[in-house]
């Protein structure tokens, strides 16, 4: 089958919400191949603890590629303890310049409770506006929903969960089977 004929993997929505001294990263569990759901219970949000630091990460894209990036991020965090932003920038530099890493197809949302960042293969380390960010197939739906909920009295976790429900209702590559991790500032 030619590469352009292959239907491709789809199916992740990851959201990060910072509100009231809490940061939450939530991700759905769906992985699809073309129009077929391959798995509905994937776990795309993880907690890392390099050198005693507590960091929560969510990933969209190829699982193997994301795990490679998470391992690299963990090594960067061990080299720069307590400096998530610096470790993220170092990872983004490597990802942009290393010929092997350049082929990786994934994105990350990471937080240590203070910083909330999106890391991309284009060399970007982005701090979201409005304390909300989202990636993946249903990312824009979740982002819009969360932005609309930020002015309510809902907690960060409640905003993330409701935004993911809305994204799952709209995006066929997103389900309601959530993994949610929170961390305090």
5 pLDDT more than 90: no
**Catalytic status, residue 133:** no
- Whether 87 is in a domain gets the answer yes
CATH assignment of the domain containing 22: 3.60.20.10
For position 100, what pLDDT does the model report?
75
pLDDT tens sequence across 138-168: 999 999 999 999 999 999 999 999 999 999 9
Domain count, the chain: 1
Residue tagged active-site, from 12, 80, 111, 133:
12
Dihedral angle over CA of 8, 119, 72, 3, nearest 10: 20
CA 70 – CA 111 distance, rounded (Å): 13
Residue 79, in any domain of the structure: yes
- Which pLDDT belongs to residue 131? 97
What single DSSP character describes residue 153? S
Residue 185 lies in a domain: no
Domain that holds residue 85: 3-180
């Amino acid at each position: 089958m030619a590469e352009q004929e292959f239907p491709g993997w789809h199916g992740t929505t990851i959201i990060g919400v910072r509100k009231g001294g809490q940061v939450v990263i939530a991700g759905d569990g769906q992985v699809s191949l073309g129009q077929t759901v391959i798995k509905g219970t994937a776990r795309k949000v993880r907690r890392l603890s390099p050198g005693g630091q507590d960091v929560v990460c969510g990933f969209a894209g190829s699982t193997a590629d994301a795990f490679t990036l998470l391992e690299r991020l963990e090594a960067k965090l061990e080299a720069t303890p307590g400096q998530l932003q610096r470790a993220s920038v170092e990872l983004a530099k490597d990802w942009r310049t290393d010929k092997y890493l350049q082929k990786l197809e994934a994105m990350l949302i990471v937080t240590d409770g203070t910083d909330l960042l999106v890391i991309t293969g284009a060399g970007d380390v982005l701090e979201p506006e409005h304390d909300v960010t989202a990636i993946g197939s249903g990312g824009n739906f979740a982002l819009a929903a969360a932005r609309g909920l930020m002015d309510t009295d809902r907690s960060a976790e409640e905003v993330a969960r409701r935004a993911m429900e809305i994204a799952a209702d709209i995006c066929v590559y997103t389900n309601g089977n959530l993994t949610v991790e929170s961390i305090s500032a």
